[in-house]
Each structure stands twice: as C-alpha cells, then as structure tokens.
Structure 1
Amino acid sequence: MLETFPTSSIIAAVVVVLSLSILGYFAWKTLITSDLFQKGINLSQAKDYQGAEAAFRKVISLNSTNDVVRLFLGDVLNQQGQIEEATELFREVIRRSPKNPDAYLRLANILIQQEQEEEAKINLRQAKDLLQKQRQPEKAKKITELLDKMSDQSSKSIS
C-alpha cells in the first residue's frame, strides 16, 4: 500500500503541472491575440489600413474561429479598395455564423456601394430580422428607415 501512494502522488503532480502548463499557454495566446487585435483597431482608427490588415491577419492566424476579427479585416480591406476580398470575408462570416447581423450589414454596405440594391436590401432585411430577434429594436428601426429610403428612391427613379 505504501508503494502506490508515491506513484499516485507523482501522477497527480504530473496532471496538475500539465494542466497548469496548458492553462498558461492559452492565457499567453489570449493575451497576444488581444494585444494584436487592439493594435489592429488602433491602426485602423489612425487610417493605417495596411498595418491594421497585417495585425488582423495575424490574429486570425492565431485564432481562426474569431469572426469579429474577420469583420474588422473586411472593413479594412474595403477601405483599401479590396472589395472582392472584403465581400468574401463577410460572406464567410455569414456562412460560419448566420445569426450575426453585423456581417449582413457590412455586406449590404458593400453591395450598396456597388449599386447592387436588391441584394443589399435582402441582406438589410436579414440583419433587421436578426436584430429584432436579438431584442435590439433601435438598430432594427434604423435599418427599416434605411430600407424605406431605398424604396422611396427606387420608386422616384422609376417615375
């Protein structure tokens, strides 16, 4: 019985050390990712879109599941005139996270810039529906107002 006690203590110690090491790794990775994300936001606000793009791409390389970073990267690409890549990023976020109204709004913005009004309206309606379901009535109301303006402009241009 005395022999099993030291073995079980060693196993327990190894498990604890291994668990702490894994926890430390993830804490370090989160800190690095958070710092890079903030750097990307700061560079974007300073209109250093290339620097922001590099920071956001690095965050995605460290954490490939972060859709918020993809949205910001899409915004930065749009600012640089890389419309096709930004559009694809927004579509990718919609595929990965179909209940994310921000992705629909950003895609609609690009579609409006490209004068693809009907597809933009579809995305705006989807965003509005999601915002209503997520109990964000003020944002949904703003989208409704935008859709109404777009409809008014369309009917005036037809007349």
Structure 2
Amino acid sequence: MLETFPTSSLIAAIVVVLSLSLLGYFAWKTLITSNLFQKGVNLYQAKDYPGAEAAFRQVISINSTNDVVRLFLGDVLNQQGQVEEATELFREAIRRSPKKADAYLRLANILMQQERQEEAKVNLLQARDLLQKQRQPEKAGKITHLLDKIDAKPLNNS
C-alpha cells in the first residue's frame, strides 16, 4: 500500500502538469488569435487591405472555425476586387453558421453590386427572418425598408 501512494501521486502530478500545459497552450493560442484579429481589423480600418487580408488568413490558419474572421476576410477581398472569392467565403460562412444574419447581408451586398437583385433579395429575406427570430426588430425593419426600395425600383424605371 505504501508503494501505491507515491505512484498515484506521480500520476496525479503528471495529470496536473499536462492539464496546465494544455491550458497554457490554449490561452497562448487565443491570445495570438485575438492579437492577429485586432491587427486585421485595424489594418482594414486603415484601408490597408493586403495587410488585413494577411492577418485574417493567419487567424483562420490558427482557428479554422472562426466564421466572423471569414466575414471580415470576405469584406477585405471584396474591397480588393476579389469578388468571387469573397462571395465563396460568405457562402461558406452561411453553410457553416446558417443562423448568422451578417453572412446573408454581406452576400446580398455583393449580389447587389453585381446587379443580381433576385438572389440578393433571397439573402435579404433570410437575414430579415433571422433577425426577427433573434429579436432584433430594428435591424429587421431596415432590411424590410431596403427590400421595399428594391421592389420599387422597377416601377420607377417604367
């Protein structure tokens, strides 16, 4: 029985050290990701789109599940005229997080720029419905107003 005590203490110490190491690793990874993300946002606001793109791509390489970063990267790519890649990032964000209204709004924006109103309307309707379900009536109301404007456009051109 005396021999078991030191062995179990050693095992417990190893488990604690491993747990602390894992905790430290994830804390470090989160800090690095957070710093890179903030750097990307700052570069985007400064209109340094290539720099922002590099920062956001680094964040995604560290944390591939972060869809908010994909949305920002899509915005950066759109600003650089890389519309197809931006469109695909927004579609990917929708597939991964179908309840993220911002992805539908960003996709609708690109579709409107490409004069693809019908596809844009589908995405705007989806975003509006999600915002209503998420109890954000003001944002949903703005989208309704925008949809009304889109629907009124053909009548004004007649």
TM-score higher than 0.5 = yes
Q: CA deviation at 1:85?
A: 0.2
TM-score normalised over the length of structure 2:
0.99
Match of 1:58 in 2: 58
Q: Is the aligned partner of 1:26 residue 2:26?
A: yes
Aligned counterparts of 2:109 and 2:137: Cα–Cα separation in 1: 20
> Which amino acid counterpart does residue 59 of structure 2 have in structure 1?
V
For each residue in 1:111-151, what CA deviation from the matched residue of structure 2 results, as whole angstroms up to 9, or x when unmatched? 00000000000000000000000000000000000000111
Aligned counterparts of 2:50 and 2:133: Cα–Cα separation in 1: 36
Q: CA deviation at 1:75?
A: 0.2
> Which amino acid counterpart does residue 17 of structure 2 have in structure 1?
V
Q: Which runs of 5+ in 2 are unaligned?
A: none
Aligned counterparts of 2:154 and 2:130: Cα–Cα separation in 1: 25
Q: Percent identity?
A: 82
Give the 3-state SS of the residue equivalent to 1:135 in structure 2.
Answer: coil
Aligned-CA RMSD value: 0.5
Q: CA deviation at 1:154?
A: 1.9
TM-score normalised over the length of structure 1:
0.98
Match of 1:124 in 2: 124
Number of positions where the alignment pairs a residue of Structure 1 with one of Structure 2 = 158
> Which amino acid counterpart does residue 120 of structure 1 have in structure 2?
A
Q: Which runs of 5+ in 1 are unaligned?
A: none
Runs of 4+ in 1 over 3 A off after TM superposition: none
Match of 1:89 in 2: 89
Match of 2:133 in 1: 133
Q: CA deviation at 1:155?
A: 2.1
Give the 3-state SS of the residue equivalent to 1:81 in structure 2.
Answer: coil
For each residue in 1:74-132, what CA deviation from the matched residue of structure 2 results, as whole angstroms up to 9, or x when unmatched? 00000000000000000000011111100000000000000000000000000000000
Aligned counterparts of 2:119 and 2:154: Cα–Cα separation in 1: 14
Match of 1:149 in 2: 149
